Structure 1
């Protein structure tokens, strides 16, 4: 019987076949090139009105004006500060609570119904209450991010720790480990890489919460700039602000991945 030759695409698109770092960069960059080319095509040829969608060059020109004339660097700094403050506050509370819930089932039974209930509540719904309680200052915006992140992190960490391998726990008991030693020397080291990955994902969600918080009652920040540009129908500045958020998020994501690989070397072996 003659063997059918496989096409180049079938050889490339094999399920779970790894991609080289160079190919990954080329493929990822190609999508952005195609996207910008299509964007330029529909704007430069007049298929879409500039009022509704600015061209790439207009967007870059408006971005330059934001930095040189409107102090956009300060807005970026304020937004990054709010994200980090709210996210770190949520992490400091959620990670220990999640570890306790995953390791000790009575604690999980006590907290899990409330945490599961709260994680479905949209953080934006708390903005009117937070404005009443704390005003429209920095604390209100930080608390929006905190509420949006803390319950998600708690439940994700609890699931990760609770899914530890039972044979490792039994082996530790056999070797004479005590209850707290099991948590400190078995559960936490084993779950640490996945916890860090969960934090990386939630950090991305935190960026959506801060923009929502800055759309209401803010005098600075990327979200404030976007809403101000919307009132002026300046789509160039709006798009530039959105792209800046994506770039900062991508940089933070890559930094998180790099730190995870350096801190948890055993997870990649």
Structure 2
């Protein structure tokens, strides 16, 4: 009863795909994950590089970041609803909160691993302090940064069900939670499988991007 046959899962998938509802749910979830991931990454990458390069930035942000990254994401879902309301923004906020501080810490650690001799040589050649981050540290950490983004993209997919836990009307997380109430185990397995497939697809895209953008690191 609680472990459906693969044929039943495939049948359910084809049925939902034929009426277009499955595509709608997939696109909704993809939109939530992509927007949340992009917003988080656009902020965390430069900020993380500055944290790893400048001690004053690290001293200012490190205590707050290390505190925030241990807070449970699920406990903030009702707060996001109160602060933001119900809708796409609330779901995106869950994704951002789930991965932003983790990205920040890992990117800062990557920036700190850049040899100081490289940075000092840039200063000797006349590079200004604010130029160091983008002309020296960023290129040196690019392969690691792409790996960090690839890993945290996977985490973003794991937070999808949490993001669609309350008041969602579409999405793979939504249909899995709805199916749970009706003991539709085939739908749950279908949603889980599709989340895994979409996550794997984005993972492979990041692997390809790394080979194209940073071929010297292979």
TM-score band w.r.t. shorter chain = over 0.9
TM-fit CA distance, 1:105: 0.4
Determine the C-alpha separation between the residues in 1 that align with 2:72 and 2:159. Answer: 9
TM-fit CA distance, 1:244: 0.5
TM-fit CA distance, 1:223: 0.7
| Residues 83 and 206 in structure 1, CA contact (< 8 A), matched pair in contact too | yes
TM-fit CA distance, 1:229: 1.2
Tell me the matched-pair count. 218
- Aligned partner of 2:27 in structure 1 is 77
SS at match of 1:143: helix
Cα distance change of structure 1 residues 69 and 176 upon mapping to structure 2, 3 Å threshold: closer
TM-fit CA distance, 1:167: 2.2
- Aligned partner of 1:97 in structure 2 is 47
Determine the C-alpha separation between the residues in 2 that align with 1:263 and 1:208. Answer: 27
| Residues 101 and 107 in structure 1, CA contact (< 8 A), matched pair in contact too | yes
- Aligned partner of 1:13 in structure 2 is none
TM-score w.r.t. length of structure 2: 0.95
Gaps of 5+ in 2: none
Gaps of 5+ in 1: 1-50
1:216 aligns with 2:166: yes
1:59 aligns with 2:9: yes
SS at match of 1:136: coil
Determine the C-alpha separation between the residues in 2 that align with 1:250 and 1:69. Answer: 25
TM-fit CA distance, 1:170: 2.7
| Residues 124 and 209 in structure 1, CA contact (< 8 A), matched pair in contact too | no
Determine the C-alpha separation between the residues in 1 that align with 2:212 and 2:143. Answer: 11
1:228 aligns with 2:178: yes
TM-fit CA distance, 1:177: 2.9
TM-fit CA distance, 1:72: 1.1
Cα distance change of structure 1 residues 248 and 177 upon mapping to structure 2, 3 Å threshold: same
TM-score w.r.t. length of structure 1: 0.78
1:109 pairs, out of 34, 56, 59, with 59
Question: How large is the Cα RMSD of the aligned pairs?
Answer: 1.3
SS at match of 2:71: coil
Structure 1 segments of 4 or more deviating over 6 A? none
Determine the C-alpha separation between the residues in 1 that align with 2:130 and 2:168. Answer: 46
Determine the C-alpha separation between the residues in 2 that align with 1:67 and 1:168. Answer: 54
TM-fit CA distance, 1:70: 6.3
Structure 1 stretch displaced more, 165-174 or 118-127:
165-174
Which of the pair has the greater relative contact order for Cα pairs under 8 Å at 6+ separation? 2
Determine the C-alpha separation between the residues in 2 that align with 1:187 and 1:251. Answer: 29
TM-fit CA distance, 1:236: 1.0
SS at match of 2:126: coil
| Residues 225 and 241 in structure 1, CA contact (< 8 A), matched pair in contact too | yes
Determine the C-alpha separation between the residues in 1 that align with 2:132 and 2:9. Answer: 55
TM-fit CA distance, 1:168: 1.6
- Aligned partner of 1:41 in structure 2 is none
Determine the C-alpha separation between the residues in 1 that align with 2:170 and 2:88. Answer: 10
Determine the C-alpha separation between the residues in 2 that align with 1:72 and 1:144. Answer: 23
TM-fit CA distance, 1:178: 2.9
